[in-house]
Amino acid sequence: MNAANLRKKMHIWRLRHISERYFVLILSVLVGAGAGLAAVILKTLVRKTYVLLMQIRLDVFGGANILLLIFPAIGIILTVLFLKYIVRNKIGHGIPNVLYAISRGGGKMPRHNMYSSIVASTITVAFGGSVGLEAPIATTGSAIGSNIGQWFHLKHKNIILLLGCGAAGAIAGIFKAPIAGILFVLEILMFDISMTAAIPLLISSITASTLAYFLMGTDVQFAFQIQDAFQISQIPFFMVLGLFCAMVSVYFLRVNQKIESSFARINRQWVKILVGGTLLGILIFLCPPLFGEGYSQLNDLLHGDPNSFITNSFLISSNASPWIMLLGLFGIIALKAVATSVTIGSGGVGGTFGPSLVIGGLSGFFVAALLNQMGLQLPLANFALVGMAGVMAGVMHAPLMATFLIAEITGGYGLFAPLLVTTTITYICVRPFEHHSIYTRKLAKHGDLLTHNKDKSAWQLMDMQKLIETNFVIVRSGDKLRDLITAIESSKRNIFPVLDENDKFLGVIVLDDVRKIIFKPELYDKYSVDELMYPLSEGDCVRITDSMSDVVNKFKIGQRYNLVVIDNENNYIGFLSRANTFSAYRQFVSEFSDE
């Protein structure tokens, strides 16, 4: 029995014995296990590769490894070659790629995303790319969920749900934080979670975090126990931290946008690699803490030791004064944003989740250390942890996920109050300057972003091409009334599009407008189609590239019953009916809201 027949028999058996709702619950366990395993594999691959590379040294003055100048460029070159000649496809930009699959792709992701992000990000990060692994892991988990849903021929909404289960499981697995995994799906992937969706997401998150814990023990990203209890008198200082995190977040977002846009304008890939690899190599050589994710140094920072951030750095000496060290830490905050953006812009594969945490930890430590230099006694580790949540809330526009992630990392809710204060202030202050997060701004610009608005999301997910009606009889420019009569006799519609000889749309003839003359044979050769038609304005037409939101707005504003659909060259395609469009919308919402 071949695979196709086996799959068909399994599908038939499942339809007879298990409802799709309960089958999704079963599959959520499988997806969570796959996502958790992917997280473990990726972290292990990066760590092993990094250890091997660090054994290769060519020390120069000051004990600095001169090979740090070329490792990042080698990593980017290998990543680009892997994508071009092995995957032979574009991976996309991590989380934005997942968001696009939800809004435009029906939740369907290519199969290669189940492994390509793991391999590509391993190469990039292990060789020094200053990016995080969370986005590649989330992409991998999403692809696992999407492809499992496709393999079992699930409904559209359940494929998207399993995609979300994969993303939630990936985040839960890498941080051992199931609640943060669910909130990642809610805030960043913008799922509208009902009870039907919440249970599979919870199952997937718990499965992934349990599997990751079983395979790695406490060897997750962070496992930190709070030593200094939070005191209510510290609230004003956490408010100051929120403001500082907001400024850092806006800086990160602006730098990322500017640098990636600059690289996007470079047409030749080898030029991108040369420029990006050289710049990144110089940054890492001068400041080694920029190498890779930076989590090991961040762990040291959380334990009150900032020296790992300045070891072998040409920017600052280890025996420098406290004020110089603070200045050096501030410089690393600024340079980390640059290094991350250069890595991604030049062809590396990775995300901004990890850099947000590192920059946030540095920001919290910097603020607390600065205030302590002024005579206060603030717990450095607590401020570093809360700073991680603050910058994450500002960059990703996900204050709840950031809050619960740090709460779960610390094994309790001892910092819950300052976390809420800081993330709220940061988020509120960032929004007026950056309306969209680092993941959503490009999609929003092109109208491809889902939101928590149910109506807008439903229109976004609907496919215009499936609603286009094409059973209209066309007439040509230059035809006589006699030709129109022939068209009327063979048509079941009362609208007749008028096209020229090249199929360019010119206008329409409405049956009611010519009813008085169609019964007068003596006029059949007197009137031409061009005299009887009337051209339509932009308000009467939609382009095939327009979004469904644009279509709905034209229906509402113009109170029109039909809209002509044309392409960008004004070629006629068909019509959209107001009644059919809103009927399809009601059916679509009903299917997605079915509990």
CATH number of 457-592: 3.10.580.10
**What does the chain come to in residues?**
595
pLDDT at 28: 95
Q: Note the pLDDT of residue 319.
A: 65
Q: Give pLDDT, residue 570.
A: 86
Looking at residue 471, what is its pLDDT? 87
pLDDT value, residue 422: 97
> Across the strands, what pairs with 59?
65
What confidence score (pLDDT) does residue 293 get? 87
pLDDT digits (tens, 9 = 90+) for 352-407: 999 999 999 999 999 999 999 998 889 998 999 999 999 999 999 999 999 999 99
d(CA 185, CA 364): 26
- Closest residue by Cα to residue 582 from 462, 497, 454: 462
19 exposed, middle or buried (CB, 10 Å; 0-12, 13-18, 19+)? exposed
pLDDT, tens digit only, all 595 positions of the chain = 566 677 777 777 777 778 888 899 999 999 999 999 999 999 889 888 888 888 877 666 555 667 788 899 999 999 999 998 898 877 766 788 888 888 777 788 989 999 999 999 999 999 999 998 899 999 999 999 999 999 888 888 889 899 999 999 999 998 888 999 999 998 888 776 666 778 999 999 999 999 988 887 765 556 677 778 889 999 999 999 999 999 999 999 999 999 999 998 988 889 999 999 999 999 988 888 888 888 888 887 887 777 766 665 655 655 667 888 888 889 899 999 999 999 999 989 998 999 999 999 999 999 999 999 998 889 998 999 999 999 999 999 999 999 999 998 887 788 999 999 999 999 999 999 998 888 887 776 666 565 555 556 666 667 777 888 888 998 998 888 888 888 888 888 888 999 988 888 888 888 888 888 888 888 888 888 888 888 777 778 888 888 777 788 888 776 678 888 988 888 889 898 888 888 877 776 666 555 4
Distance CA 476, CA 494 (A): 16
- Which pLDDT belongs to residue 120? 92
Pick 3-216's CATH classification: 1.10.10.10, 1.20.5.510, 3.40.50.300, 1.10.3080.10: 1.10.3080.10
CATH class of 232-454: mainly alpha
Evaluate whether 3-216 and 232-454 have a shared fold: yes
pLDDT digits (tens, 9 = 90+) for 435-486: 888 888 777 666 656 555 555 666 666 777 788 888 899 899 888 888 888 8
pLDDT of res. 547: 75
Helix and strand counts by DSSP (H, E) for the chain: 24, 6
Instruction: Check residue 246 and give its pLDDT.
Output: 97
Residue 459, SS3? helix
Instruction: Tell me the C-alpha to C-alpha distance, in Å, between residue 393 and each of 105, 336, 340.
Output: 28, 18, 18
Pick from 195, 214, 216: nearest CA to 206:
214
Domain extent listing, the chain: 3-216, 232-454, 457-592
**What pLDDT does residue 394 have?**
96
Q: How far apart (Å, rounded) are the C-alpha atoms in residues 477 and 498?
A: 6
Q: What is the pLDDT of residue 459?
A: 62
- 541-543 and 562-566 beta bridge pairing: parallel
Element containing residue 495 per DSSP (H, E): strand 495-499
CA contacts within 13 A on the Cβ side of 166: 31
